[in-house]
A and B are shown apart, each in its own frame.
Chain A
Amino acid sequence: MTKSSFTNIQSEYLAVIDHAKCVRCKRCIQNCGWGTYSFGGDKIIADHSKCVACGRCYTYCPEGAISILKNPTVMRENGNWQDYHIKNIWRQSETGGIAISGMGTPLKYKKYFDHILLDACQVTNPPIDPLREPMELKTFLGKKPSKLELDFNEDGQPILKNPMPPQIELATPFIFAPMSYGSISLNAQKAMALAARALGIVMNIGEGGLHDELVPFGKNIIVQVASGRFGVNRDYLNSGVAVEIKIGQGAKPGIGGHLPGEKIGADISRTRMIPAGTDAISPAPHHDIYSIEDLRQLIYAIKEAINYEKPVSVKVAAVHNIAAIVSGIVRAGADIVYIDGFTGGTGAAPIIIRDNVGIPIEIALAQVDQRLREEGIRNEASLVAAGSIRSSADAVKAIALGADAVAIGTAALVVMGCHICGKCHTGNCSWGITTQRPELTRRLDPEEYGEKLYNLITAWSHEMKDILGAMGVNSIESLRGSKERLRGIELTDSELKVLGIKHAGM
């Protein structure tokens, strides 16, 4: 196909070089994972069609000579037939395939977090200053008994009758969301492992197995069992603080995964325990789970394998009937339920699924929490919410809507340089995150970005303490599920009802 190919007719971005400023150092050539730049004898030449606006080149250009512009050439404007539709049609008419993309949906659906406001104290109850008073964020994930059972020792002092069910202890209610080795680089995983250990939280390694170099981080790792069962064996199950069964993902509910054979090099092959060069296929369903009772069997098979010493989590995508589904999962024996919302990220998903399937995490969470309370089983499992938590405010709102903790995926990648260009699936990530090309991955220094991740979660925790203090409470459990501290703005009655909150002013 020549230049006249539809998709190349119009580049989305223009990589514009100010040749007066450019010193021809060629760093842009070296940095761009997409091959946008080349040297034309006396100056840098840009192939605009390759640019994805990932931001790597201008970040590292010493002269500030590069500008990435949105291509001003207009496509005929049409409110109904938007660029998005037209370009996908062109692309598919050439390939006959499903259009794939990385990251969560870029479409502008209503973001409920942006329509929820928080409460604060004035006069009748005092705010608490987190710089002067203790402020507790410590969180335990796992099943809690509904009541305390006591025994009394010989002095008549009460002691615990039965040990607590296993818990994951988090110093602050954040975890790093599951992202597998294969979908992201080992260095990206290491950065999160280092940060998780320093922060006293956990990372989830996703479904790609556990690389040898991450084994020492076991106390800060949740291992995952997904439909592909990559790297799963008894040692693997026992190498973290919890095991998660992945049923679904917010960006692609009901859809499996596919890591192409070209990406299965020696290291990934060993970690995933599959032959090098073969496609790593995660089927849409687990082939041993066709019903809720099958899930129960897998939960208890895993509990047997880990001797009931660690909690078992189940990760599901937020779909229409999520409240009943989670209720079933809790009754099937899960200690933690991880709910991934509609806008959640992904390494690769069919665009049509990502942009159209599922429901927002805010609504899913509110409904699940309410349902579990109505059934009197909210204590039976902890809830982790995910699906584009963009700030500490989103995290606070999620917790007030009923989450025990939130998971940070895309935000953690942004720390590592990600500009959310949505091209994770191509394996060319210039930031060394979603690529296995050694010349790209080696530029991601785990220690440097581990520290930045530490900083982000520390900053968000400080903000969370400030918000708690303003609300006049000094412990995160007083915020958890406290919808009374939330008010909706610009929401309809139905939206308020489904979220279980009142409108501002009420």
Chain B
Amino acid sequence: MLRLKNNFSIEHDTAGCGLCGIINIRKIRTNGEDIKKAIALEHDRGNGLGGGFAVYGCYPEYADLYAFHVMYDDLAAKHDTEEYFKNNFIIEKQESIPVFKTSKINDHPILHRYFMKPKSDREDRLLHDLGDDDFVVSSVMLINSEYDGAYVFSSGKNMGAFKGVGYPEDIADFYMLDNVEGYMWTAHNRFPTNTPGWWGGAHPFTLLDWSIVHNGEISSYGINKRYLEMFKYNLALKTDTEVIAYILDLLIRKHRLPVELAMNVLAAPFYHTIEKMEPKQKELYNALRQIYGSALLNGPFAIIFGYPDGMIALNDRIKLRPLVAGTKGDFTYIASEESSIREVCSSPDIVWSPKAGEPIIIKTINTENISQKQRLIIS
């Protein structure tokens, strides 16, 4: 029996995992072959109970519309949710997400996608004046927490998440990702320890254009959650990954922190490091820790965070989970294991293991000049 909601009587879902990411900084699009090969090599890092992919640049023809990927338990749930969509959004196009049933993945929810934008005269305008992004976020939270049997698993523009219960290579076949093209891919292989068989629990977790794949357990989950609740985030999924996505949404979209600083909130420099900084910088980082102490992600993690401008990989402050990076020309590869990188790129220009708490930030070059990336790679 498929159930989309997290009906397990737990506060907090945790998992071990494998992850991969591939980005082309010139936004040259490739299909899902390589990412599937790379994550397939990390087969043993998962247990067949969750796999998924995020791809950026996959819907160029609908680039200015929000692409909602929705899972439904049944047609009734679909009907109710679509009622909400019709009332609040202009739906340009909707269709079933194309799937190919294999022997490995034969039991799945109804998978549907919608390309749409919020109506300008929608009813919530009577109460407040949310921007489109904020309205999409609140719609996603509303559906995921209040609409039984419906779950929005992707809501960004010109990007999409494809995920489910199974090994990632089987999920790739199921969604026929060799027919999908994008300039940036992330992938996840899940080893859940307390919510087996839950489609919504697979990674990537996405919100608007953010996507997260995550290996680890956030030991500070309790306070991270309570901190986000102060800003009215509704943590319906009870997963670590959801917490990370919302923290990033808060820091980058709402508080307008530069991405680099946001990463320094998630994996904050130690006070003994701050002590040695220049006075202005010291002041900034002391303030960062004091203000955002409750947003510090504590515990073992490696994450790959995708957003339209690029990809960021980050380890916890003492590197308790593996994370390796490599480059070849315009491509950058991130993975839990070096072998995954070499599986799809036999002779990378450079391979390195990022230091604890130091983000690798790969920005695409039409938004930022290339020196940023080169500087990071050289350092």
Contacts and interface: CB of A to CB of B under 8 A. Distances in A.
A481 B291 contact: no
Given A136-B270, A136-B271, A482 B255 contact: no
B223 A125 contact: no
Given A140-B290, A480-B294, A473 B299 contact: yes
25 contacts: A121-B219, A124-B15, A124-B16, A128-B318, A133-B318, A140-B290, A145-B291, A150-B261, A153-B280, A160-B283, A167-B290, A471-B219, A473-B220, A473-B299, A475-B268, A475-B293, A475-B296, A481-B226, A481-B227, A482-B223, A483-B222, A483-B226, A484-B12, A485-B222, A506-B9
Interface residues of B, number: 50
A126 B14 CA distance: 13
A238 interface: no
Contacts of A106: none
A480 B9 CA distance: 24
Given A144-B291, A147-B254, A472-B299, 19 more contacts: A124-B15, A126-B320, A133-B318, A134-B270, A136-B271, A148-B255, A150-B256, A157-B281, A164-B290, A379-B291, A472-B217, A472-B300, A473-B219, A473-B220, A475-B296, A481-B222, A481-B226, A482-B223, A506-B9
B225 interface: yes
Contacts of B299: 125, 472-473, 478
B272 interface: yes
Given A124-B16, A373-B229, A148 B257 contact: yes
B59 interface: no
A266 B144 CA distance: 71
B184 to A, nearest CB: 25
Nearest to B257: A148
A159 B280 contact: yes
A126 B217 CA distance: 9
Contacts of A128: 318
A484 B230 contact: no
Contacts of A145: 291
Contacts, number: 120
A474 interface: yes
Interface of A: 121, 124-126, 128, 133-134, 136, 138, 140, 144-148, 150, 153, 157-160, 163-164, 167, 373, 376, 378-379, 471-475, 477-485, 502, 506
B317 interface: yes
Interface of B: 9, 11-12, 14-16, 193, 216-217, 219-223, 225-227, 229-231, 254-258, 261, 268, 270-272, 280-281, 283-284, 286-294, 296, 298-300, 317-318, 320
Nearest to B229: A373
A125 B217 contact: yes
> Considering residues B255, B280, B299, B300, which has the most beta carbons from chain A within 10 angstroms of its beta carbon?
B299
B258 A158 contact: yes
A494 B347 CA distance: 63
Contacts of B281: 157
Contact of B219 (A125, A134, A136): A125
Contact of A478 (B219, B255, B258): B219
